[in-house]
Each structure stands twice: as structure tokens, then as C-alpha cells.
């Protein structure tokens, strides 16, 4: 009826290059300020003009933002300086951005128009995570490429707080509060078909997203198991993972296809795990499956039980390819 309150539409815009949980957290806060979140993404051309070419293409950047659970609509081609016209055209009431100043190549505040029209609100930027920081870790990784990190790795620290010496540079402080904010807090309904996948999900990317979308379609409730940093390092070597377990938890929780995350899942799928979560199907994508200690197939049990499925994500992105892109871009951050 006419008494129904008008829906509040919130506009957010940016580059969203190398999407991380800091971006997701700003969109989560934006969602809390209204009913719908509409994200305007700059084209590759527009970003190149103002700060040099992005690492990810506009198609990839659009896909990553669409995968974030607080996002309702995505619009490609947002102007670098947010105009009132763009807000009106998308029926948005106001614009939300993190509390950092962004400028055009000419040094103009990109939000000066919406600020003077009183259609601008600020949310707190997430400290300790940024594209610059992630790129720094990747460059550090290559510089030490021939000095395998595993020797310096504290394997004894099996607890979830164990950090690689490289991800240790993060200033992000994980709290239970942040995990609760990112979690949807829903348990499976009786009779729900439960799907389980496990992995590193390091530098959460479009390949992961396509894989999780397909995995979620195999059932009603998707659980993602994340291995600890020492476990990931034991099969990936070098200085992987780039993001520590806590960071990977938030990246995966921000994905709209994921219902629950196991923080520090065992490498091999065990009977206890299957029973505890009442898992109906276990799956893995097209990437190679590393054997535990070079011998044991981590999916041996679900294979025996005939509840294992291979999924083709149709996407060949990997964490290593991202690192290669960064190097070939020779980005000066």
C-alpha cells in the first residue's frame, strides 16, 4: 500500500581491482545504511586514465563484486567523479565510500559533487588490508622465490593463529565480532542437502567464485573447509599462502554462495567431519589434488562412499596466475 516505506538505494563506486574483504566490509556497512546496494564499477579505460591499468579486467571485477553477498546490483561504467546524475539515473538516494580521500589524476576529490549536495555518507575503511599490501606480499614472495619458505615455517604451530612470515606483515586484527558480521548465521534446514568443499582459497578469485557457484548448485547448503597456513604451505610450498587463515575466512564468508566455513579443516576428509556436518556430497574442481605426504588421497573416504564429485568451474584462474599478472604488470604501488 501507499504507507509502505520507500526503499533506500545506496550507491557505492570504485575500481574493485583485486577484490578483498576490505571492499566486502565497506559494502556490508553500506547495506546497513539502506535496503539495496548498487555498485558502480569503473571501466578499464577510466581506471587507466586516472591511475594506470588495473590488474583485473572489467569482466572479472564485475563478477567478483556480484559475488559479494551484500550487493544487489552492479553497474559497469561509473564515472571516476561521482555525479548527481549517476545517482539519479540509478535511483540511488546517496553515495557511500570509505573514510579515505580519493582524487582524480587532476587532484579533484572524486566525491565533491555528492558531498556538497549532502548525498554522501562515510563508512570506516578496514585497516590492515589493501591492494597495495597484497601486491607487496606477492612481490616479497617472488623475491624470496629461491629461498623456499618452508624452512622458516613454524610447522609446530598447528593452531589457526599460526602465520607465515610473509602474511605476518598484515595489520588486520581479526575478531569474533567481524566473523559474526560476515556470517549469515543460518543453520541448515532439516532435509537440506549439504555440500562440502575444502581448499586454500588463497587470494579469493574468479576461479573460486565460479567453482563455489557450481558447488552450491549441487545442494542446499554449502560448507567450505579452509586449511591452516602450515597445511597450505606443506603442499603449495614457497611462501604460500599469501593471505593468512583469518583473512581467507572473511574472503570466503563474503561470498554469496557460501553458508558456513570450517576454520582450519583437516586436509583429509574424515568420517568425523562427514558425520559432524551431515555432509551429503563432497566436491573438488579441476585443479590437481595434492596427496597428503605424497601418498594419501584426501578424498579417499568420500570416493569409497560414492559421495565425491569433480566439478569443472570452466575458469582457469589460479592464485599463481594472479602473482604472475602482478609481476608482468610491474605495478608501482
Q: What residue ranges bind ligand CTP (CB under 6 A)?
A: 14-17, 22-23, 25-26, 97-98, 100, 125-126, 129-132
Q: Which of residues 265-304 bind ligand C5P (CB under 6 A)?
A: 284-287
Q: For residues 254 and 224, is the Cβ–Cβ distance under 8 A? A: no
Phi-psi category of 18—alpha, beta or left, where left has phi over 0 and alpha has psi -120 to 50? left
CB of 213 vs ligand C5P, minimal distance in Å: 10
Toward ligand C5P, which CB reaches closer, 103 or 301? 301
Nearest to 252 by CA among 216, 218, 298: 216
For the CB of residue 30, give the shortest distance to ligand CTP in the complex, in Å. Answer: 8
| Binding residues among 190-229 for ligand C5P as defined by CB under 6 A | 197, 199-202, 207-208, 211
40 is an interface residue for ligand C5P by CB under 6 A: no
CB atoms within 10 A of CB 81: 19
CB of 204 to ligand CTP, least distance (A): 14
For ligand CTP, the closer of residues 229 and 247 by Cβ is: 247
Say if residue 69 is exposed, middle or buried (CB neighbours under 10 Å; 0-12, 13-18, 19+).
middle
Helix (H) or strand (E) holding 61: helix 58-66
The site that binds ligand C5P (CB under 6 A) totals a number of residues, namely 17
Binding ligand C5P by CB under 6 A: which of 7, 316, 320, 324? 316
Cα separation values, 45 from 25, 41, 66, 232, Å: 26, 11, 20, 37
CB-wise, 231 or 254, nearer to ligand CTP? 254
Q: Among all residues, whose Cβ is closest to ligand C5P?
A: 285
How many whole angstroms separate alpha carbon 39 and alpha carbon 119?
A: 16
* Binding partner selected for residue 132 from ligand CTP, ligand C5P, none, CB under the kind-specific 5 to 8 Å limit: ligand CTP
Cis peptide before 241 (omega within 30 of 0): yes
CB 244 within 8 A of CB 230: no
Residue 316 interacts with, from ligand CTP, ligand C5P, none (CB under 5-8 Å by kind) = ligand C5P
Q: Site residues (CB under 6 A) for ligand C5P? A: 197, 199-202, 207-208, 211, 284-287, 313, 315-318
Amino acid at each position: 500500500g501507499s504507507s509502505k516505506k520507500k526503499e533506500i538505494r545506496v550507491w557505492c563506486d570504485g575500481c574493485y581491482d583485486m577484490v578483498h574483504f576490505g571492499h566486502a566490509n565497506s559494502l556490508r556497512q553500506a547495506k546497513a545504511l539502506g535496503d539495496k546496494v548498487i555498485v558502480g564499477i569503473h571501466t578499464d579505460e577510466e581506471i587507466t586514465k586516472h591511475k594506470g591499468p588495473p590488474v583485473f579486467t572489467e569482466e572479472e571485477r564485475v563478477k567478483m563484486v556480484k559475488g559479494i553477498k551484500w550487493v544487489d546490483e552492479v553497474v559497469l561504467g561509473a564515472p571516476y567523479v561521482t555525479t548527481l546524475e549517476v545517482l539519479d539515473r540509478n535511483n540511488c538516494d546517496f553515495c557511500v565510500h570509505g573514510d579515505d580521500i580519493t582524487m582524480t589524476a587532476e587532484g579533484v576529490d572524486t566525491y565533491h559533487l555528492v558531498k556538497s549536495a549532502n548525498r554522501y555518507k562515510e563508512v570506516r575503511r578496514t585497516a590492515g588490508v589493501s591492494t597495495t599490501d597484497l601486491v607487496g606480499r606477492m612481490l616479497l614472495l617472488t623475491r624470496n622465490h629461491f629461498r623456499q619458505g618452508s624452512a622458516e615455517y613454524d610447522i609446530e604451530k598447528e593452531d589457526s593463529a599460526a602465520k607465515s612470515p610473509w602474511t605476518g606483515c598484515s595489520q588486520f586484527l581479526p575478531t569474533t565480532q567481524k566473523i559474526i558480521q560476515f556470517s549469515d548465521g543460518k543453520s541448515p534446514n532439516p532435509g537440506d542437502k549439504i555440500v562440502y568443499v575444502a581448499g586454500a582459497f588463497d587470494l579469493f578469485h574468479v576461479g573460486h567464485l565460479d567453482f563455489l557457484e557450481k558447488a552450491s548448485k549441487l545442494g542446499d547448503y554449502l560448507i567450505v573447509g579452509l586449511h591452516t597456513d602450515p597445511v597450505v604451505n606443506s603442499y603449495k610450498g614457497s611462501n604460500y599462502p599469501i593471505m593468512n587463515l583469518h583473512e581467507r575466512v572473511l574472503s570466503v564468508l563474503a561470498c554469496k554462495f557460501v553458508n558456513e566455513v570450517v576454520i582450519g579443516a583437516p586436509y583429509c576428509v574424515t568420517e568425523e567431519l562427514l558425520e559432524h556436518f551431515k555432509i551429503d556430497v563432497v566436491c573438488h574442481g579441476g585443479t590437481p589434488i595434492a596427496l597428503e605426504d605424497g601418498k594419501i588421497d584426501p578424498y579417499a573416504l568420500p570416493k569409497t562412499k560414492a559421495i565425491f564429485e569433480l566439478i569443472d568451474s570452466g575458469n582457469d584462474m589460479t592464485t599463481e596466475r594472479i602473482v604472475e599478472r602482478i609481476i608482468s604488470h610491474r605495478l608501482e604501488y
